[in-house]
Amino acid sequence: MSLLVTGGAGFIGSNFVHGWLASSQAPVAVLDKLTYAGNPANLAAVQTDARFTFIKGDIGDRSLVEKILIDCKIRAVVNFAAESHVDRSIHGPADFIETNVVGTFNLLESVRAYWGRLDEASKQKFRFLHVSTDEVYGSLGPEDPQFSEENQYQPNSPYSASKAASDHLVRAYHHTYGIPVLTTNCSNNYGPFHFPEKLIPLVILNALAGKALPIYGDGSNVRDWLYVTDHCSAIRRVLESGRLGETYNIGGWNEKTNLQVVQTLCSILDELRPRSDGLSYSTQITFVKDRPGHDQRYAIDATKIHQELGWKPAETFETGIRQTVQWYLDHPDWVAGVTSGSYRDWIQTQYGQ
Exactly one of 32, 135, 167, 230 is catalytic; which is it? 135
Catalytic annotation on 295?
Answer: no
Catalytic annotation on 153?
Answer: no
The pLDDT, as a whole number, for residue 344 is 62
The pLDDT, as a whole number, for residue 340 is 72
Helix, strand, or coil (residue 300): strand
Taking domain 3-191+228-252+295-315, whether its CATH number is 3.40.50.720 is answered by: yes
The pLDDT, as a whole number, for residue 331 is 96
- Strands (DSSP E) contained in 239-325 are 247-250, 255-257, 285-288
Helix, strand, or coil (residue 71): helix
Task: Kindly list the domain boundaries of the chain, sorted by start residue.
Answer: 3-191+228-252+295-315
What whole-number distance in Å separates Cα of residue 40 and Cα of residue 59? 17
- Strands (DSSP E) contained in the chain are 3-6, 28-32, 52-56, 76-79, 127-133, 181-186, 188-190, 213-216, 222-227, 247-250, 255-257, 285-288
C-alpha distance from residue 353 to each of 46, 170, 202 (Å): 41, 40, 16
Q: Report the Cα 325 to chain-centroid distance in Å.
A: 18
Q: What is the pTM of this model?
A: 0.94
Residues in the chain: 353
Taking only the tens of pLDDT, the chain with its 353 residues reads: 799 999 999 999 999 999 999 999 999 999 999 887 788 999 999 999 999 999 999 999 999 999 999 999 999 999 999 988 788 889 899 999 999 999 999 999 999 999 999 999 999 999 999 999 999 999 999 999 999 999 999 999 999 999 999 999 999 999 999 999 999 999 999 999 999 889 999 999 999 999 999 999 999 999 999 999 999 999 999 999 999 999 999 999 999 999 999 999 999 999 999 999 999 999 999 999 998 889 999 999 999 999 999 999 999 999 999 999 999 999 999 998 888 767 567 667 766 64
The pLDDT, as a whole number, for residue 347 is 62
Exactly one of 32, 58, 83, 134 is catalytic; which is it? 134
Do 233 and 184 contact (CB within 8 A), yes or no?
A: no
What whole-number distance in Å separates Cα of residue 45 and Cα of residue 80? 20
Residue 163 is given by DSSP the state H
C-alpha distance from residue 282 to each of 68, 221, 259, 275, 324 (Å): 49, 18, 10, 11, 18
9: amino acid identity, one letter: A
The pLDDT, as a whole number, for residue 48 is 95
Exactly one of 32, 58, 137, 159 is catalytic; which is it? 159
What whole-number distance in Å separates Cα of residue 314 and Cα of residue 233? 9
Residue 240: how many CB atoms within 10 A of its CB? 12
The pLDDT, as a whole number, for residue 86 is 84
Closest CA to 132 of 175, 164, 85: 164
Catalytic annotation on 134?
Answer: yes
